[in-house]
Structures are given as structure tokens and as C-alpha cells.
Structure 1
Amino acid sequence: MTDTPHELTISRLMRAPRAAVWQAFTDHQADWWCPKPWTAEIHVRELRPGGRAEMTMRGPNGEVFPNNGVYLDVVPAERVVFTDAFTADWQPAGPFMVGIMEFADEDGGTRYTGRARHWTPEAAEKHRAMGFEQGWGKVAEQWEEVARRIAGA
């Protein structure tokens, strides 16, 4: 836990340039968004503040999880903030978290920091128990693999 109440955080040094990490995010998100064997189908991605984000995550045992929200802030190759507290046209939804993804140059690669901020301690604990660290860590590993392919590394 950080100084921010109800926040879960991971950080990873990706061995790929920030431009490749960003391109993997913008053009190849379905390839890494869920820990395998889960998959993600991207339906709508309006990568701008107020833009929609709609996808469906599917599990190996037939699990189907629609995941809809909006982008709150987008600074290309630096920061993306999103939430499931709203859906299209700012319709309130049952909020679970605000996600923050930040990117910075470090040692010839990219420092990725992912944060999940929750409304309540119970929601943060539920996310932790669901496997936040392992899940977001595996996703970062898969993301780095895609970015390294893009960079030709």
C-alpha cells in the first residue's frame, strides 16, 4: 500500500524504448491485456480524455467479463488514466477503481508504474485478493514482450 489510501501499485523496468511500449499499448493491447490463458477483445478504444474504453475479457473456463469505462487523462507515451466509474455518455456505473499507467525513460528502457486506486479499503482488498500483483505483473511481462518485438529487440 502507498501513502494514497486504497491504492495498489506495481512498477517494472521494461527492456524496450518508451515509443515501443506506447505502440504496444495503442496498437496491440489485446495481445497482452489479460494474463494468459485469458484473452481480451477490444471493442472500442477512444484514447482521449472522455473517450470510451470497451472490451470483453474471456477466461479459459468460459468466463466472460465485459469491461467498460472511460479515459480520464491521456498524455501519449507518458500517462493514461481510466476508470470504470462511468461508461459511454458519462453514465454512472458501479465503480471499482481508477487505473493509472505511467511511463518514464530509465536505463535505456521504460519504467512502467501501474496504480489501481479504489473507493474503499474493501474494494482494494478484494482486488489484492483477486491477484492484483500477480495479474498486473504478468500483464506487464506480456506487454514488455510485445514492446520488445516492436522494437526489434
Structure 2
Amino acid sequence: MIDQNAAKHELSITRLIHASPETVYKVWTERTGEWWAPRPYTTPVVDFELRPGGRAYTMMRSPDGADMPHDGVFLEVVPNRKIVVTDAFKPGWITQDAFMLAIVTFDPEGSGTRYTARVQHWSEEAMKQHEQMGFHEGWGIVAGQLAELAEGRLVSSAA
């Protein structure tokens, strides 16, 4: 059963990436620090345990050196097809203030991948806050950075 409130509080982006789902998934999971944050922000720390209940930790760094940690857990991991992650829990199912649930899919489309990131929020206020933080621009930029790596147009952007 689909929760209509979840869809009501959802933001999403999608992009056709000219690489196989396997390649896009591999870049998403293994080269995260290279594309996760919109440049000139960086992601110097990535700690992923790709399994349900596994840690999903990233730390973004702003150009002025401010660190922005994000700790959560993976809820579902289907290699090459789907990743579901939330910040509602820390590893060990320890609850914390929740902001969102992200559902990322890697769907075959022609000779490429339809990459979609759907982000559900617990309230309209949280969704609006995320939108005002620049969700569409920021998540669009990082989808482009992911595409550059997956398509082989950018060898490495690691600092």
C-alpha cells in the first residue's frame, strides 16, 4: 500500500546516464567521495556498509572548511538496481532526528541507465526546508557529477 503522505512530501530528480546500471551503481557505491557533494564542496569521508542495517555515513566539507556529517543506515540494497537509505536511524537501529528517506534506482533504459533519486520527508516543513536548501539544483549537480564519472568523461575529481 502506498502512503499518499509520503508522495506528498517527496522531492525527486532523474537523469539518463549513458552507462550501464552496473557501472552507475559501481560509481555510486565505490567512488562516492568523488561525486557526492556539489563542487567546490567535497566529501572526504564515506563509510558505507552496503546491506540492510549497514552504516551509511558521509561527511561533506564546505569550501570554508565546515564539516557536515550525515549518519544513517541502508534499509534496502539491491546491487545494480536500488538503494534505500534513511537518517532516521544510526547503525544498531538507534533512533535519531529524522529528515529524510532516499530511494535511488538504477533502471536500464536503452543502452544507458535511468537514474532516479526520490527523497521522502516526514513533514511538509522538512520537504520545504530541503527544497529551500537547494535540493533540485544540488541533487541535479551531483547527478551530473555521477554521470561524468560513470560515462568516463571525468577520470577523477578527488582532491
Per-residue deviation, residues 1-50 of structure 1 (Å, max 9, x unmatched): x9812000111101111111011012101100000011112342100111
Give aligned pairs, total. 150
Q: Which residue of 1 aligns with 2:29?
A: 26
Measure the CA separation in 2 of the matches of 1:137 and 1:28.
18
Per-residue deviation, residues 80-105 of structure 1 (Å, max 9, x unmatched): 00000111211111100001101111
3-state SS of the aligned residue for 2:36? coil
3-state SS of the aligned residue for 1:89? coil
* 2:19 aligned to which of 16, 19, 25: 16
Q: Which amino acid aligns with 2:30?
A: D
Q: Is 1:128 paired with 2:136?
A: no
Unpaired stretches in structure 1, ≥5 consecutive residues: none
Q: Percent identity?
A: 44
Superposed CA RMSD in Å reads 1.7
Q: Which amino acid aligns with 1:122?
A: E
Measure the CA separation in 2 of the matches of 1:39 and 1:70.
21
Under a length normalisation based on structure 1, what TM-score does the superposition of the two structures give? 0.93
Q: Which residue of 2 aligns with 1:147?
A: 150
3-state SS of the aligned residue for 2:152? helix
Cα distance 1:3–1:44, how it changes in 2: closer, same or farther (>3 A)? closer
Q: Which residue of 1 aligns with 2:86?
A: 83
Q: Which amino acid aligns with 2:110?
A: D
Measure the CA separation in 2 of the matches of 1:107 and 1:11.
15
Cα distance 1:3–1:96, how it changes in 2: closer, same or farther (>3 A)? closer
Under a length normalisation based on structure 2, what TM-score does the superposition of the two structures give? 0.89
Measure the CA separation in 2 of the matches of 1:26 and 1:117.
21
Unpaired stretches in structure 2, ≥5 consecutive residues: none
Q: Which residue of 2 aligns with 1:68?
A: 71
* 1:48 aligned to which of 35, 51, 59: 51
Measure the CA separation in 2 of the matches of 1:31 and 1:92.
29
